[in-house]
Amino acid sequence: MEKIVSLCKRRGFIFQGSEIYGGLAGTWDFVHLGLILKNNIKEIWWKRFVLDRKDMYGVDAAILMNQNVWKASGHVSGFSDPLVEEGKTRQFNMMFTTNVGVIEDEDSISYLRPETAQGMFVNFKNALDSFHPTIPFGLAQIGKAFRNEIAPRDFVFRAREFEQMEIEYFVKPLEWEKSFEHFREEMHAFMDDIGLDKRHIHELDVPDGERAHYSKRTIDFEFDFPFGKRELYGLAYRADFDLVQHAKASTVDLSYYDEDTKERYVPHCIEPSFGVERSVLAVLSDAYTEDEIDGEKRVYLKLKPNIAPVKVAVFPLLKNKPALVEKAREIYGNLKKEIGQVEFDDNGNIGKRYRRQDEIGTPYCVTIDFDTIEKEAGVTVRDRDSGKQERVKIEDLSRYIKV
């Protein structure tokens, strides 16, 4: 774990929040490479669960919400952890409290949301009125959430500010098991999409008494992190708890009228929930590799190419040869237009450049040498994992890399 944390800082993935002031516990700043990695994971999730489906609608709800939302959901009264002080135990509410407006009183209280789910539940009626969906359908959201953790720990695994990728999928009450199983399979497929090792993933069917108050069934997808087996994602059957609570508290009808059966009912809800930072940490944990090439030790991130922050790096063999640099810049520019996540590097010898790119998980390195210019022999493409090199024609380069 220490090696992963060190790599993240050294190579520009994740920094400690407010570090020059001594930091702020439980906060982390994602910077260039870490931000691209995180965004790649989010884009893959959005494509699988939203863009590729016909039954899902995106939401980006406000972080600040009417305090009555959190009263109705049970968070004001029950979202707490036990805190032990001088041998005495008291319940500590984990929501961050703030005030909206110029007057600070009971009516101005709001909270930094501790989850993204409620923003979707309170928009259920709006979604019905705007999109006229048929059951089953879902609302999906990627957004920030905040929890005043008593003891944030294990790098970005447990933080006070984090992102969630969540779905609230509304189903007929008697058909929840079919959708539950569907999303169980889809969650495994997503984990495969981002390159997680199946051997490190375990399902835990959470028993009665240990589930959240709203849940009738929950599966925790646990992952073998460097610090032990911990929860990565969750899949919960929330029944009709949330819609019933909000309908009662707001006095707004949140039922659904089925035009085919001519019946009205409150839909039940399946909730697949994913932590973005935990996804990043799991990916880094699986990808971190140490081996030897030609008797020399190296560290590299064995990232799946679709999530690697840099897809390909382009090098001139020597930086003091203008013809090589010019050709390398030309190839770099063309690849940049087609692939986007491309890096140019002419600093130091080729061996050091390879090691730098290995360490950030770049799948391919392209070297422009004298044969490229004098014999039109194409370029040398080096594979990150094996270290093997292959000559590829310049016109075939982008196709080779994309495959």
Reading the block at residue 282, the tokens are: 């799991």
Mean model confidence pLDDT for the chain: 94
Separation between Cα atoms, residue 106 and residue 369, nearest integer Å: 70
3-state secondary structure of 77: helix
**Which residues, in sequence order, are CB contacts of 62 under 8 Å at separation 6+?**
119
pLDDT band at residue 85 using 50, 70 and 90 as cut-offs = low
H or E stretch at 205: strand 201-205
Of 130, 168, 172, nearest in space to 268 by CA: 172
Of 169, 66, 75, nearest in space to 115 by CA: 75
Bridge partner residues of 163 (DSSP): 144
Separation between Cα atoms, residue 367 and residue 375, nearest integer Å: 15
Separation between Cα atoms, residue 194 and residue 133, nearest integer Å: 30
Q: How many CA atoms lie within 13 A of 195 on its CB side?
A: 21
pLDDT band at residue 322 using 50, 70 and 90 as cut-offs = very high
**Model confidence over 175-196: pLDDT tens digits?**
999 999 999 999 999 999 999 9
Of 386, 340, 344, nearest in space to 366 by CA: 344
The answer to whether residues 386 and 358 touch, using CB atoms and an 8 Å cutoff, is no
The answer to whether residues 223 and 229 touch, using CB atoms and an 8 Å cutoff, is yes
Separation between Cα atoms, residue 325 and residue 15, nearest integer Å: 33
Separation between Cα atoms, residue 83 and residue 89, nearest integer Å: 5
Domains present along the chain, CATH in parentheses: 2-66+113-285 (3.30.930.10), 310-402 (3.40.50.800)
The answer to whether residues 114 and 95 touch, using CB atoms and an 8 Å cutoff, is yes
The answer to whether residues 75 and 110 touch, using CB atoms and an 8 Å cutoff, is no
**Model confidence over 100-133: pLDDT tens digits?**
999 999 999 999 999 999 999 999 999 999 999 9
> Dihedral (C-alpha) 260, 137, 139, 78: value to the nearest 10 degrees?
80
Q: How far is CA 343 from CA 37, 139, 329, 364, 366, in A?
A: 15, 37, 10, 11, 10
Dihedral over Cα of 156, 120, 233, 92: its sign? positive
**Model confidence over 202-257: pLDDT tens digits?**
999 999 888 877 788 999 999 999 999 999 999 999 999 999 999 999 999 999 99
How do the residues of the chain divide into helix, strand and coil, expressed in percent and rounded to 5?
35, 30, 30
**Model confidence over 133-170: pLDDT tens digits?**
999 999 999 999 999 998 899 999 999 999 999 999 99
How does DSSP classify residue 267?
P
